[in-house]
Amino acid sequence: MSGITKNQRTTKMKLAVVGATGLVGQEILKVIEERNFPFDELYLVASAKSVGQTAVFKGKEYTIKSIEEACKLSPDIAIFSAGGNTSLEWAPRFAEMGSIVIDNSSAWRMDPTKKLIVPEINGQTLTVDDRIIANPNCSTIQMVMALAPLHAKYKLKRIVVSTYQSVTGTGKDAVQQLQDERAGVRGSKVYPHNIDMNALPHIDMFLDNGYTKEEMKMVNETRKILGDETIGITSTTVRVPTIGGHAEAVNAEFQHDFTCSEARSILANTPGIIVQDDPKHNVYPMPINSHGRDEVFVGRIRRDESQPNTFNFWIVADNLRKGAATNAVQIAEFMLEKSLVY
């Protein structure tokens, strides 16, 4: 729960959620309500087709606004989840109006002038001058949550990661495609192939190096968040027919040796991490159990017997929660708690 109260601020807190009708936008609103994030005025913002419609939040009816109107209202904090092009155009305009923009798209993540934040790892780097803050990719967030405390102890050398990512990472239309295929309904498709009863080694567009943008996000964002460009990282990202929850198989090589029991202890004592690692009793993280949860679940912790200082583990998290909405709201909470909102 948020530890912020309205009494800590002397002016009204104006909050905007841009992309409020999308999957992530809806989840942001859930998180705001659950964590009792403080605001005096709330602006729900969506695309032109939704402007003027109404939505109910915490028992109050709100009229959905255009992004132009919301910008003129100069919210203190604007959480964006409306796509990269919208963020590139509008985040600077909101910032010029004095807003703090927390952006969930990939638009600003690798901009050297913008910070890429997971509050538990590098929130302390934020200052009052940060007006546009990038929210990392969902698959990156859950991986660095588990790796950061181990990196601090043993220093990462190389990461090999394969992901198994939910259709919710693509959005409402992808969920509908999966449901249509399962029901035998001929509908529109957002993937180039069927997703039901299938696995697609194809998330985002392919690049000239043969990797996808999603795979390179995990490489570049992990180095930026951990502040270490020397870490070797390779990634394969796969879309699977699950609704809610990404899973990752990670092979991590460190410069210093470790014991699995010590690594388990470090992870178990890290806020935001839950260790589920009792394979003899079939206890391990699964996407179905992460749905609606904010924690990152880690299990299948075992030494890689093929080379020194290396172990394997399995990471699962709800990609719409800690992978997107919760992390964004936590950034907003951090800015308020540290009095970085003016």
19 DSSP assignment: T
- Tokens 């210093």 correspond to what residue? 256
**CA gap 311, 118 in Å, rounded:** 24
Within a domain: 342 = no
Please list, in sequence order, all residues whose beta carbon lies within 8 angstroms of the beta carbon of residue 262, skipping any fewer than 6 positions away.
Answer: none
Q: Are 116 and 151 part of one and the same domain?
A: no
Model pLDDT, residue 6: 41
The pTM assigned to this predicted structure is 0.94
292 to 220, 234, 245: CA distances (angstroms): 28, 29, 9
Q: Are 114 and 189 part of one and the same domain?
A: no
Number of structural domains the chain divides into: 2
Q: In what order do the strands lie in the sheet with 296-303?
A: 232-239, 156-165, 246-254, 310-317, 296-303, 273-275
| Helix, strand, coil percentages, rounded to 5, for the chain | 35, 25, 40
**Hey, what are 295's tokens?**
């924690």
Give the pLDDT confidence of 274-314 residue by residue, as tens digits.
999 999 999 999 999 999 999 999 999 999 999 999 999 99
Within a domain: 28 = yes
Within a domain: 257 = yes
**Hey, what are 213's tokens?**
């943008």
Within a domain: 73 = yes
Cβ-contact 118, 225 below 8 angstroms: yes
Model pLDDT, residue 244: 85
Q: Are 143 and 154 part of one and the same domain?
A: yes
Within a domain: 155 = yes
Cβ-contact 105, 78 below 8 angstroms: no
Kindly tell me the sign of the dihedral angle through the C-alpha atoms of 57, 61, 67, 69: negative
Within a domain: 246 = yes
Q: Is 61 helix (H, G, I), strand (E, B) or coil?
A: strand
Model pLDDT, residue 10: 52
Q: Are 108 and 160 part of one and the same domain?
A: no
Nearest of 18, 8, 168, 187 to residue 88 by alpha carbon: 18
Q: Are 146 and 285 part of one and the same domain?
A: yes
R_g (Cα) of the chain, nearest Å: 20
Q: Are 297 and 157 part of one and the same domain?
A: yes
Model pLDDT, residue 11: 73
Within a domain: 79 = yes
Q: Are 204 and 301 part of one and the same domain?
A: yes
**CA gap 98, 78 in Å, rounded:** 10
Model pLDDT, residue 5: 44
Residues 62, 134, 129, 270, Cα dihedral to 10° = 100
**CA gap 290, 273 in Å, rounded:** 12
Within a domain: 1 = no
**CATH code for the domain of 58:** 3.40.50.720
Cβ-contact 81, 45 below 8 angstroms: no
**CATH code for the domain of 229:** 3.30.360.10
* Strand 310-317 with 296-303, pairing: antiparallel
251 to 143, 191, 217: CA distances (angstroms): 11, 29, 18
232: β partners: 158
Active site members: 138, 246
**Can you list the residues of the chain whose pLDDT is less than 70?**
1-10
Q: Give the CA angle between residues 238, 141, 260 to the nearest 5°.
A: 90
Return phi, psi of residue 130, to 5°. Answer: -80, 105
Q: Are 268 and 228 part of one and the same domain?
A: yes
Q: Are 196 and 82 part of one and the same domain?
A: no
Q: Are 218 and 291 part of one and the same domain?
A: yes
Model pLDDT, residue 342: 77
Q: Are 190 and 245 part of one and the same domain?
A: yes
Give the pLDDT confidence of 28-73 residue by residue, as tens digits.
999 999 999 999 999 999 999 999 999 999 999 999 999 999 999 9
Range of the domain at 331: 6-136+324-337
Q: Is 154 helix (H, G, I), strand (E, B) or coil?
A: helix
Q: Are 95 and 187 part of one and the same domain?
A: no
Nearest of 83, 81, 74, 103 to residue 91 by alpha carbon: 103
Model pLDDT, residue 296: 98
**Hey, what are 132's tokens?**
């546009």
